[in-house]
Amino acid sequence: MNIIVSGCGKIGSTIVESLVLEGHDVTVLDMNPAVVEEITNIHDVMGVCGNCTDCETLKDARVADARVFVAVTGSDELNMLACFLAKRMGARHTIARIRNPEYNQSSLVFLRQQLDLSMAINPELLAAQELYNILKFPSAVKIETFSRRDFEMIEVRLKPDSVLNGMNLITMREKYDAKVLVCAVQRDNEVFIPDGNFVIKGGDKLGITATPTEFLKFFKALSVYQKQAKDIMILGGSRIAYYLAQMLVRGGSNVKIIDRDAEVCQRFCDDIPKATVIVGDGAQQELLLEEGIKDTEAFVSLTGMDEQNILISVFASSLNVPKVISKVNRDELFNLAENLGLDTIVSPKKITSDVLLRYVRALSNSFGSNVETLYHLMDDKAEAIEFRVSPEFEWVNIPLKDLQMKKNIIIAGIIRERKPMIPTGNDCIMANDRVIVIAAGQRLQELSDIIKKG
């Protein structure tokens, strides 16, 4: 598929890398020649240097042949105009990054209609939503939702002295009466799709699927359940912090925001009057202690510097703050953060890349199944994909135990008429089901890819 990506910053570069790994023909477009040169040296892509709203530049990028045009420059207005022109010049689908909080939902709907946008993505809003989900269920390090939130997958890191240490999954199911499925396990740098005999070890990261109610039962049975965080301290007055604070205040939480910029703090005061806003340098431990970091239920570091987020989060962890979350965008700092004991890390660029890949895969397959949701899991070593099954799917009404499925793939859930279930070998895939598949070490374009051919 021919895809043009305009804007090669953090978000754009991550999107390009993901699309190249998917095997698409990608053209990058940026005004900075050094950026274009760097990305074309790293990836097998075409590069065009120029303004994405210039018709001649768009012609050079062969926009008329583009199946998808993605505009993720630093300017919302530039992205919208570029998508409008690209659509007029022949691009079939257009996606714009629009992240200014002034564009509310009704404004975005109007803009999408008038500009004929296929999708508007807001990385900061997506990241804030993920943070909000985690703060509602702090026992998890990551939460992904499927089929209108009827079904969830969480990642949880086991402590070395966990009661599950040394227990196989069959025994776990027998001992704890909860309908959950451990569908992926990360141990060091290796990811497993486990069977019932798989033995869990302390320190493992587990990927578990279930309904929200069953998750609650399971974690309470393990005595590791953490109640929803209600007193939250946010460091950094970023866009993510703005969206997150709004969500938390609406949900009844007590929110304290710290930022060194007085103008930023004033905007927070004006727009979110129920939040407590402090002007100050959050890198100063004394300030955090004065503002009650020891008594807070959750600490979220959202400054513009990954290193600062990591270091201050380590400090918060040393004070035994129950839930600590860091924003980290640079890939090379992910392992460092985890090695320092930070297990809940959010990356806006990765969240955005997943959303865009889901859309592109949905365009790639339209016979038999379609991609509804896509997430990268276990440090990008596995995928969770929700497919919608059409009547043309070849393997409907066949018990799962009779399907010849590829290795390192598991059907983690089926939603039928909005009723979620953990499937057994006797269950079948039916037309109009939503099927959640976990795959390690491979990419699935459509549901039939889970079946061994020949």
3-state SS record for 294-360:
HHCCEEEECCCCHHHHHHHHHHHHHCCCCEEEEECCCHHHHHHHHHCCCCCEECHHHHHHHHHHHHH
Per-residue confidence in pLDDT tens, the chain, 454 aa: 999 999 999 999 999 999 999 899 999 999 999 999 999 999 999 999 999 999 999 999 999 999 999 999 999 999 999 999 999 999 999 999 998 887 767 777 888 888 899 999 999 999 999 999 999 999 999 998 887 677 889 999 998 889 999 999 999 988 888 789 999 999 988 999 999 999 999 999 999 999 888 898 999 888 888 899 999 999 999 999 999 999 999 999 999 999 999 999 999 999 999 999 999 999 999 999 999 999 999 999 999 999 999 999 999 999 999 999 999 988 889 888 988 989 899 999 999 999 998 888 888 765 556 888 889 888 888 999 999 998 889 999 999 999 999 999 999 999 998 889 999 999 999 999 999 999 998 888 889 999 987 6
Instruction: Answer for the pair 399, 382: CB distance below 8 angstroms, yes or no.
Output: no
Half-sphere exposure of 284 (CA within 13 A, CB side): 10
Positive or negative CA dihedral for 122, 123, 125, 126? positive
Q: Return the CATH number of the domain spanning residue range 231-321.
A: 3.40.50.720
CATH 1.10.1740.10 fits 128-221, yes or no: no
* Rg of the Cα atoms in the chain: 23
Closest CA to 91 of 19, 171, 193, 3: 3
Are domains 2-121 and 231-321 of this chain identical in fold? yes
Q: Return the CATH number of the domain spanning residue range 2-121.
A: 3.40.50.720
Q: Is the pTM of this model over 0.75?
A: yes
Rounded Cα gap, residues 24 and 15, in angstroms:
11
Positive or negative CA dihedral for 190, 196, 202, 204? positive
Rounded Cα gap, residues 298 and 296, in angstroms:
6
User: What ranges do the domains of the chain cover?
Assistant: 2-121, 128-221, 231-321, 361-450
Instruction: Answer for the pair 414, 433: CB distance below 8 angstroms, yes or no.
Output: yes
Q: Classify domain 361-450 at the CATH superfamily level.
A: Regulator of K+ conductance, C-terminal domain (3.30.70.1450)
